[in-house]
Homo-oligomer: A and B are copies of this chain.
């Protein structure tokens, strides 16, 4: 995958782009903020009506953010739902109604819109994209927040509709955070979830400005460019690795290991799951990856170094395997097969395993009593896994903004805090279907590899070269730069 597609310079006739230093070069980015809202109408020239198709977490967040941001313009935002959708009542409760023309049938809303943002579930998109494409008005632009459809079209020999712009704006966080932080942004300018954008087809030359406008209107603190292909890969791989799948595998394996070593259930939970979603995530968010090790005492650093050494190789093996299968389309085929199978046999839930039922509530109740110290073993495992993903993405040519967002920022600022409030099992059982399937498939691979290969080697001497590579990693600089572009705002999770 060549990197030129996303590093070639791009321009905007509307927005003030900036050049950001990244390892090995620069990226052109757009720093967002409400001060840019007066530019939206110009950037959206030709788009008088935006249709948001779907009312899931992304759909409802994006529809509301866009409506609020465009309130001072003539641009109307409508929500399109499929017939008999269970979401209609909630959309109405949020002010999208049939009466004022801001709620309707998905194909009707599509046909009436100049920018159609498809935020329905992957399975629905796979099943219905042809009808939706057929309903587009001339000159309309297709908007996506996820590269899935690209992969699906490739697997099935389909195509995007000719003559229509195809753009993507992909918030690097969950829908709930996209809305909540936007609302916080009314007080703290710039609060929000970063987004990537991509231009896949640009018949009238205006696709870039429309994509940037969409991202600014969502409240993205900063917007960086990628390609639809690159987005697809990093997103699907990421949710199977450090964003969800590997996290689950890691916490199950650590919990088991600590229990086997003699810890009671509560202590084991605190040292594993609670440690990752709590102090480790917070430390990375505030001070970067190295700060986790630097906060340990001498013996803790020794443990970290050995465990990091033992874990990195197995982690990298699995991330490489996941990446190959996502890039090849194999992983997507398994998702499609699973969808068919789940019609007959619904997915079981993992929330009943011992660690979740026994210890989680007690640990959450204890939270305010003391600050939980970082566990050096857990930290070594987690940071090694995160670095393995960073390295794999870098090797495969992803832009640095995408690498650090998909491997670090989305984890520590969006997903892990969510898991901190609700627990990892809840997340695994309740996130998007594609993510659930991926986490269920790959989580156990990390768990088994760590139990059988990494942890038995955890006492071996640390590998100095590996640790030096971590210490001098270009990702730290890329992460610092990205962090500068956003005010530090704690994600609030209800």
Q: Please, what's the 1-or-0 string for A346-363, where 1 marks a CB less than 8 Å from any CB in chain B? A: 011110111001000000
| A457 cross-chain contacts in B, Cβ below 8 A | 352
Q: Are B348 and A324 in contact (CB under 8 A)?
A: no
Q: Are A448 and B443 in contact (CB under 8 A)?
A: yes
- Interface of chain A, helix or strand or loop or mixed? helix
- If A320-B341, A320-B345 touch, whether A452 touches B353 (CB-CB below 8 Å) is yes
Instruction: Name A451's contact: one of B316, B324, B353, B452 (CB within 8 Å).
Output: B353
| A337 cross-chain contacts in B, Cβ below 8 A | 321, 324-325, 328, 330
- A126 within 8 Å of B (CB atoms): no
Q: How far is the CB of A392 from chain B (nearest CB, A)?
A: 11
In the complex, which residues 443-494 of chain A have their Cβ closer than 8 Å to any Cβ of chain B?
443-445, 447-449, 451-453, 456-457
- If A341-B321, A353-B453 touch, whether A260 touches B256 (CB-CB below 8 Å) is yes
**Please, how many residues of chain A have a CB less than 8 angstroms from a CB on the other chain?**
42
Q: Are B260 and A350 in contact (CB under 8 A)?
A: no
Best-surrounded residue of A314, A338, A357, A448 (most CB of chain B within 10 A):
A448
| A21 cross-chain contacts in B, Cβ below 8 A | none
Q: How far is the CB of A156 from chain B (nearest CB, A)?
A: 13
Bound-state CA distance A330–B333 (Å) is 7
- A313 within 8 Å of B (CB atoms): yes
Bound-state CA distance A195–B456 (Å) is 40
Q: Are A456 and B314 in contact (CB under 8 A)?
A: no
Closest B residue, CB atoms, query A329? B333
| A314 cross-chain contacts in B, Cβ below 8 A | 348
| A353 cross-chain contacts in B, Cβ below 8 A | 451-453, 456
Best-surrounded residue of A320, A337, A457 (most CB of chain B within 10 A):
A337
Instruction: Name A317's contact: one of B340, B348, B447, B448 (CB within 8 Å).
Output: B348
- A301 within 8 Å of B (CB atoms): no
Best-surrounded residue of A260, A447, A452 (most CB of chain B within 10 A):
A452
Best-surrounded residue of A334, A340, A347, A357 (most CB of chain B within 10 A):
A334
Q: How far is the CB of A288 from chain B (nearest CB, A)?
A: 28
Closest B residue, CB atoms, query A358? B456
Bound-state CA distance A260–B256 (Å) is 8
| A449 cross-chain contacts in B, Cβ below 8 A | 348, 444
| A453 cross-chain contacts in B, Cβ below 8 A | 348-350, 352-353
Q: Are A452 and B313 in contact (CB under 8 A)?
A: no
Closest B residue, CB atoms, query A338? B321
| A349 cross-chain contacts in B, Cβ below 8 A | 453
| A249 cross-chain contacts in B, Cβ below 8 A | 448
Q: How far is the CB of A381 from chain B (nearest CB, A)?
A: 16
| A256 cross-chain contacts in B, Cβ below 8 A | 256, 260, 451
Can you show 19 pairs from A to B with CB atoms below 8 A apart?
Answer: A256-B451, A259-B260, A260-B260, A320-B345, A321-B338, A321-B341, A324-B341, A328-B333, A330-B333, A333-B333, A349-B453, A350-B453, A352-B456, A353-B452, A353-B453, A354-B456, A444-B444, A444-B448, A448-B448
